[in-house]
Amino acid sequence: MIRQATAADAPMVAEIMNHVIANTTATFTTITKSVNQVATEITSPQPCLVAEIDGTVCGYARYFPFRSGPGYAHVAEYSIALSASTQGRGVGRQLLSQLCDMARADGKTQLIGAVSSDNETALKFHETNGFSQVGRLPDAGLKWDKPLDLIFMQKRL
């Protein structure tokens, strides 16, 4: 089931988010987030969806402004993450589909995903879901002393 996130989802979303931070290059940050920080993020005015299986939150997706200013108001950047046991089961595709519908209803015409160059799974996920690679910033990220390119994936809604 996909639904709007609530503050009560923050502990599970934080667990998923912090696993990604600590164990992957899906994000370049190494600073984990507290449950309170996550609660603030997922209940902010920007939409956040969670996926549940058997009553347990197993993934989230949210979008937020790509850049500030009215010239970018029609473009949103997004973030998505799933628990390791949920990957490959179609949950990410469902989350992204509903997030795209919400963004479109909110007047967004483009959705941007920022993907690490060594995250082949995420690159394939984006391509499979209608995103195109539109930019690459060489060595824009650094994690675990490894320089990483940042790839911008774009979907017109």
Kindly tell me if the per-residue pLDDT of 18 is higher than 90.
yes
Number of domains in the chain: 1
Give the CATH number, domain containing residue 108: 3.40.630.30
pTM of the model: 0.91
Report the candidate in 91, 24, 88 with the shortest Cα–Cα distance to residue 52: 91
Q: What angle do CA 24, 114, 157 make, to 5 degrees?
A: 135
Residues facing 89 on adjacent strands: none
CB 75 within 8 A of CB 112: yes
Specify whether the CB–CB gap between 122 and 149 falls below 8 A: no
Q: Residue 55 is encoded by which pair of tokens?
A: 């009553």
Helix (H, G, I), strand (E, B) or coil at 32: coil
Split at pLDDT 50, 70, 90, the class of 99 is very high
Domain of 46? 2-156
For residue 149, pLDDT beyond 90: yes
Average pLDDT, the chain: 96
pLDDT more than 90, % of the chain? 94
Give the model's confidence band at 117: pLDDT under 50 very low, under 70 low, under 90 confident, else very high: very high
H-helix or E-strand containing 52?
A: strand 48-53
pLDDT at residue 87, as a whole number:
87
